[in-house]
Amino acid sequence: MITLQRGHAFHFHRGIVSHDLLIGESEGITVRATSGATLVALRPTFAEYVLKMKRGAQVVYPKDIAMILLHGDIHPGAIVLEAGAGSGALTLGLLRAVGPEGRVLTYEIREDFAAVARANVEAFLGKAENLEIKLGSVYEAIEETDLDRVILDLPEPWRVLPAARTALRPGGIFVAYLPTVLQVHTLVEELRADPSWTLVSTFEALVRPWHVEGRSVRPEHRMVAHTGFITSARRVVPPAPAAGRPPADDVPGGGAGEPEDPSGEEKLSNEDG
Ligand code: SAH
């Protein structure tokens, strides 16, 4: 991945290509290096850019960004709070999905990472007026209210739940990306303990590339085996406590967050359904 500049040259193991051969030409053309080797010139896609851009923190992999955008239901015009910004990979995905009518606010505790994130976003998207990077810990407080989505990629997302519950509008979606099951377990337990959250679900995305050549059609030998788990939940208005005990069916989300559950049996059926 190179940035074209007049008079400059790209050196690689099979020769040299002058940038001037490309400037002003169409994307997709083939050029010849000094050695005679041919290269095709293409602008990087978002997924390609994310894997090549400058890193501060470890980025969210493209397969997971895709799933977070889909399961987080990130839509044009949405107001999204993110933390932490890291290298800005997920931030970029969020900005592209919310579009110019939407807004992304991202918290980052490290000033150096905030600068990397801003630079990475702007190198790809240009000036992003609808991105605000806040220096500070999202564990301390969330100042915004009426948010559509809260998307977290940091070590202890359960510490954000009390603030996220207030900041998210009812119906809003919470998503957290976590590398280990112990973290997932803590988060899910906390979500289930609070009736403001429902439809708590966790999954991981495995992408297995295939080798397709002649009669050799099979999965590739190598794949990215583990990156992270995605947990999501919906913010709801907690059901008013009823005079008697309500049947489990009346409770949104199958009663996932129902405070009293003496039998334990309903809890089991909640987890199944
Ligand atoms: N999603 C990012 C990577 C985030 S890595 C990307 O795709 O590029 C996790 C980031 O969270 C790190 O940059 C870390 O500094 C930041 N972080 C950790 N705890 C935080 C907190 N309490 N508030 C804000 N940011 C935090």
Instruction: State the DSSP string of 194-240.
Output: -TTEEEEEEEE-----EEEETTEEEE-S-------EEEEEEE-PPPP
Q: Tell me, yes or no, whether 115 and 37 share the same domain.
A: no
Q: Tell me, yes or no, whether 51 and 65 share the same domain.
A: yes
Please indicate, yes or no, if residue 244 is contained in any of the structural domains.
Answer: no
Q: Residue 171's pLDDT band (boundaries 50, 70, 90)?
A: very high
Percentage above 90 pLDDT, the chain: 87
Q: Tell me, yes or no, whether 21 and 86 share the same domain.
A: no
Please indicate, yes or no, if residue 1 is contained in any of the structural domains.
Answer: no
Q: Tell me, yes or no, whether 28 and 67 share the same domain.
A: no
pLDDT surpasses 90 at 267: no
Q: Rounded to the nearest 10 degrees, how much is the dihedral formed by the CA atoms of 191, 195, 199, 203? A: 10
Q: Tell me, yes or no, whether 143 and 177 share the same domain.
A: yes
**Total number of domains constituting the chain:** 2
Atom of ligand 1 nearest to the CA of 87: 8
The rounded Å distance from CA 179 to ligand 1 centre is 13
Q: Tell me, yes or no, whether 221 and 207 share the same domain.
A: yes
Q: What is the pLDDT of residues 91-106, one digit of tens each?
A: 999 999 999 999 999 9
Q: Tell me, yes or no, whether 18 and 105 share the same domain.
A: no
- Return d(Cα 81, Cα 118) in angstroms, integer: 16
Q: Tell me, yes or no, whether 233 and 204 share the same domain.
A: yes
Bridge partners, residue 103, by sequence: 79
Judging by beta carbons within 10 Å of its beta carbon (0-12, 13-18, 19+), is residue 254 exposed, middle or buried? middle
Q: Tell me, yes or no, whether 27 and 96 share the same domain.
A: no
3-state SS assignment for residue 167: helix
Please indicate, yes or no, if residue 58 is contained in any of the structural domains.
Answer: yes
The rounded Å distance from CA 262 to ligand 1 centre is 39
Hey, whose CA ends up nearest to atom 18 of ligand 1?
154
Q: Residue 248's pLDDT band (boundaries 50, 70, 90)?
A: low
Give the CATH number of the domain where residue 190 resides. Answer: 3.40.50.150
Q: Tell me, yes or no, whether 66 and 35 share the same domain.
A: no
Atom of ligand 1 nearest to the CA of 117: 8
The rounded Å distance from CA 90 to ligand 1 centre is 11
Best residue for ligand 1 mutational test, from 109, 110, 150 (most atoms within 8 Å of Cβ): 109
In this predicted structure, which of 146-150, 166-170, 241-245 has the lowest mean pLDDT?
A: 241-245
Name the residue among 137, 127, 78, 76 with its Cα closest to residue 106. 137
pLDDT at 258: 46
Please indicate, yes or no, if residue 145 is contained in any of the structural domains.
Answer: yes
Q: Tell me, yes or no, whether 36 and 132 share the same domain.
A: no
Atom of ligand 1 nearest to the CA of 65: 7
Atom of ligand 1 nearest to the CA of 140: 22
Please indicate, yes or no, if residue 222 is contained in any of the structural domains.
Answer: yes
Q: Which residues line ligand 1 (CB under 6 A)?
A: 57, 59-60, 83-84, 86-90, 107-110, 113, 137-139, 153-154
Q: Residue 135's pLDDT band (boundaries 50, 70, 90)?
A: very high
Please indicate, yes or no, if residue 53 is contained in any of the structural domains.
Answer: yes
Percentage above 70 pLDDT, the chain: 89
Please indicate, yes or no, if residue 55 is contained in any of the structural domains.
Answer: yes
Domain region containing 156:
47-239+253-258+264-268
Please indicate, yes or no, if residue 273 is contained in any of the structural domains.
Answer: no
Q: Tell me, yes or no, whether 140 and 232 share the same domain.
A: yes
